[in-house]
């Protein structure tokens, strides 16, 4: 039986007959979140130390859960108060900012959201290209420079960006979440296999303050899918049930992350690189994980680009139906992302930078501000936007305390991590943009160093499982 708008408001929820279930909402969140940041977590934990790494990981999990719930509560308030948000909304996160703070914040938040998601998509494209390079070398002995693979990934994903909104590409979310889950299982199997040998000599370097600070961005990036949460919630059959999606998704992601982070720390220690995959010594597992991560990131690109694409279409007042204008605009946005990837072809530093800056804002800073404002407006029957003094006066002290801790954690950690990430990104050792490499006279030769080999464990990077000779099998990593 279909519930009327008035009845839905009375019950505190909206019914969207064409939407998907809360379980599929959880799949979307896991599909978007558990991937690129996940494989970098062992390196982040080794950089911060075991205690510091676990504390940071759990704090990011708890704070991200809380701010995700705040976004859900905020969007529910907006559904109940303003009927226009019960129909199709292209920019829910920006609309939350508008209702919470004012008209000027709508454009500001929309711009930050676009930059954050474009940055996210850039990192995913770089990771996909890197993994495809390894796969082609291992399975087919084909060596292709990563710059060319960025373009190949771009051409493959391009048509998928024309899909309308999350409810129209739920199959993509299934592939994304499924591939990351399989990757976690395989990585765990590989670590269990390697542990008896590698655990006999697990080096742990002294904590490097710069690396530890940069790791903050990795942890936030791993949990930072908040920019798309209102979009996913809006497309659900019962948006009020989105809290179930959030709890399940954050729980699963936390289990995934703890498994990989702790397994990598105790099995490989400081020998692990920016990604844990090359440390796995069963080669078929290593390469299947590469394949799963490649599938995950390729499908996730479609999910994370949906909010900025819809935002730009809203700015340009494009029709909702597919047409030439929509095709041209989405193509320009997508190939702008590829241009960034070709300009800064460095997966690790970009992940840290976007995690420490834009993702911190979208995940830990804006949600508490929006929630506190709209919560106070609801108490005052939406007569006006509240001042800071009114918010403090009308909000229970424990809610103010929790949100104050979250804001302090995000702002202080974000500033420090952004500074160190920028220093690393502009390090002189970084490779030049792909187009400069191409026209510099050197061309774009295959840049892999002993691709398909293993970052072997042990203090001397030469411990191998099953008695394999380290010569020609182990690669020496810079740590």
Residue 258 pLDDT grade (very low, low, confident, very high; cuts 50, 70, 90): very high
**85 vs 390, higher pLDDT:** 390
In a domain, 475, yes or no: no
In a domain, 4, yes or no: no
Residue 51: CB atoms within 10 A of its CB come to: 9
> Which pLDDT value is given to residue 400?
95
Question: At residue 10, does pLDDT exceed 50?
Answer: no
Residue 206: CB atoms within 10 A of its CB come to: 7
In a domain, 2, yes or no: no
Q: Write out the H or E segment, with its range, that includes residue 116.
A: helix 103-140
Residue 205: CB atoms within 10 A of its CB come to: 13
Residue 8 pLDDT grade (very low, low, confident, very high; cuts 50, 70, 90): very low
Helix axes 209-223, 50-81, angle to 10 degrees: 30
> Which pLDDT value is given to residue 343?
84
Residue 168: CB atoms within 10 A of its CB come to: 12
Contact between residue 217 and residue 356 where contact means Cβ atoms under 8 Å apart: yes
In a domain, 315, yes or no: yes
Residue 335, phi then psi, degrees to nearest 5: -75, -20
For 137-148, give the DSSP string: HHHH-----HHH
**257 vs 445, higher pLDDT:** 257
Per-residue pLDDT tens over the stretch 401-429:
999 999 999 999 889 888 887 877 776 56
Question: At residue 305, does pLDDT exceed 60?
Answer: yes
> Which pLDDT value is given to residue 190?
93
**86 vs 257, higher pLDDT:** 257
Per-residue pLDDT tens over the stretch 62-97:
999 999 999 999 998 988 888 888 776 777 888 899
Residues 6 or more apart whose Cβ sits within 8 Å of residue 363: 64, 67, 220, 223, 224, 226, 410
Look at the alpha carbons of 120, 122, 123, 124 in this order and tell me if their dihedral is positive or negative. positive
Contact between residue 452 and residue 134 where contact means Cβ atoms under 8 Å apart: yes
CA atoms within 13 A on the CB side of 358: 20
In a domain, 476, yes or no: no
Which two three-digit tokens encode residue 430?
């970084």
Q: What is the CATH number of the domain that holds 462?
A: 1.20.1740
SS3 (DSSP) at 85 = helix
Which residues, listed in sequence order, are joined to residue 250 by a DSSP beta bridge?
A: none
- DSSP at 363: I
Contact between residue 119 and residue 37 where contact means Cβ atoms under 8 Å apart: no
Mean pLDDT of 251-258: 94
Question: At residue 224, does pLDDT exceed 50?
Answer: yes
Residue 49: CB atoms within 10 A of its CB come to: 17
> Which pLDDT value is given to residue 316?
81
Helix axes 242-267, 50-81, angle to 10 degrees: 170
Which two three-digit tokens encode residue 376?
């106070």
In a domain, 1, yes or no: no
Contact between residue 21 and residue 232 where contact means Cβ atoms under 8 Å apart: no
In a domain, 65, yes or no: yes
The domain in which residue 306 lies consists of: 21-467
3-state percent breakdown (helix, strand, coil) of the chain, nearest 5: 75, 0, 25
Per-residue pLDDT tens over the stretch 180-189:
899 999 999 9
**How many residues in total does the chain contain?**
479
Mean pLDDT of 273-295: 86
Helices vs. strands in the chain: H and E counts, helices first: 19, 0
Which two three-digit tokens encode residue 363?
């995940």
Tell me the Ramachandran region of residue 275: left when phi exceeds 0, alpha when psi lies from -120 to 50, beta otherwise: beta
**170 vs 115, higher pLDDT:** 115
Question: What's the alpha-carbon Rg for the chain, to the nearest Å?
Answer: 23
Residue 3 pLDDT grade (very low, low, confident, very high; cuts 50, 70, 90): very low
Residues 6 or more apart whose Cβ sits within 8 Å of residue 159: none
Per-residue pLDDT tens over the stretch 99-157:
999 888 888 888 888 888 888 888 888 888 887 887 787 777 777 877 888 888 888 88
Q: Write out the H or E segment, with its range, that includes residue 337.
A: helix 324-343
Q: Write out the H or E segment, with its range, that includes residue 74.
A: helix 50-81
CB environment 12-36: b (16+ within 10 A), e (fewer): ebbbbeebbebebbbbbbbbbbbbb
Residue 187: CB atoms within 10 A of its CB come to: 27
SS3 (DSSP) at 283 = helix
Question: At residue 30, does pLDDT exceed 60?
Answer: yes
Per-residue pLDDT tens over the stretch 426-467:
765 666 778 777 777 655 665 554 444 688 888 888 888 877
Mean pLDDT of 231-249: 88
Picking from 56-60, 115-119, 242-246, which range would have the lowest pLDDT averaged per residue? Answer: 115-119
Instruction: State the average pLDDT for the chain.
Output: 82
> Which pLDDT value is given to residue 133?
80
In a domain, 175, yes or no: yes
Please return the burial class of 79, using the count of CB atoms within 10 Å of its CB with bins 0-12, 13-18 and 19+: buried
Report the distance separating Cα 84 and Cα 88, nearest Å: 8
Tell me the Ramachandran region of residue 216: left when phi exceeds 0, alpha when psi lies from -120 to 50, beta otherwise: alpha
Tally of domains in the chain? 1
């Amino acid at each position: 039986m279909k519930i009327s708008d008035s009845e839905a408001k009375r019950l505190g929820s909206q019914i969207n007959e064409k939407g998907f279930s809360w379980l599929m909402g959880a799949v979307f969140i896991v599909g978007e979140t558990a991937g690129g940041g996940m494989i970098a977590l062992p390196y982040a934990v080794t950089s911060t130390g075991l205690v510091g790494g676990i504390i940071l990981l759990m704090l990011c999990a708890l704070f991200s859960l809380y701010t995700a719930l705040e976004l859900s509560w905020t969007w529910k308030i907006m559904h109940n108060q303003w009927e226009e948000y019960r129909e199709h909304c292209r920019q829910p996160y920006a609309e939350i900012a508008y209702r919470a703070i004012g008209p000027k914040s709508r454009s500001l938040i929309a711009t930050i959201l676009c930059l954050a998601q474009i940055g996210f998509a850039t990192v995913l494209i770089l990771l996909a290209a890197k993994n495809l390079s390894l796969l082609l070398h291992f399975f087919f002995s084909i060596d292709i420079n990563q710059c060319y693979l960025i373009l190949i990934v771009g051409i493959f994903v391009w048509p998928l960006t024309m899909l309308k909104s999350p409810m129209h590409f739920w199959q993509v979310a299934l592939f994304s979440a499924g591939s990351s889950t399989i990757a976690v299982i395989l990585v765990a199997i590989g670590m269990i296999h390697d542990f008896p040998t590698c655990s006999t000599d697990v080096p742990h370097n002294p904590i490097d303050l710069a690396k530890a600070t940069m790791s903050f961005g990795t942890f936030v990036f791993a949990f930072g899918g908040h920019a798309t949460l209102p979009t996913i919630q809006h497309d659900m059959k019962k948006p009020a049930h989105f809290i179930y999606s959030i709890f399940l998704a954050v729980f699963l992601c936390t289990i995934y992350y703890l498994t990989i982070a702790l397994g990598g720390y105790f099995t490989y220690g400081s020998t692990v690189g920016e990604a844990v995959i090359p440390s796995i010594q069963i080669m078929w597992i290593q390469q299947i994980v590469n394949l799963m991560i490649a599938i995950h990131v390729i499908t996730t690109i479609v999910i994370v680009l949906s909010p900025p694409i819809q935002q730009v279409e809203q700015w340009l007042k494009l029709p909702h139906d597919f047409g030439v204008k929509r095709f041209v605009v989405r193509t320009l946005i997508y190939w702008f992302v590829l241009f960034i990837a070709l300009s800064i072809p460095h997966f690790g530093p970009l992940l840290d930078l976007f995690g420490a800056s834009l993702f911190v804002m979208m995940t830990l800073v804006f949600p508490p501000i929006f929630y506190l404002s709209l919560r106070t407006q609801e108490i005052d029957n939406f007569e006006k936007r509240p001042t800071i003094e009114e918010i403090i006066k009308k909000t229970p002290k424990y809610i103010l305390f929790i949100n104050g801790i979250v804001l302090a954690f995000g702002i202080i950690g974000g500033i420090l991590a952004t500074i160190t990430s920028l220093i690393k990104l502009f390090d002189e050792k970084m490779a030049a943009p792909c187009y400069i490499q191409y026209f510099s006279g050197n061309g774009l030769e295959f840049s892999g160093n002993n691709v398909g080999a293993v970052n072997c464990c042990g203090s001397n990077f030469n411990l191998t499982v099953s008695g394999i000779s380290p010569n020609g099998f182990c690669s020496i990593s810079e740590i």
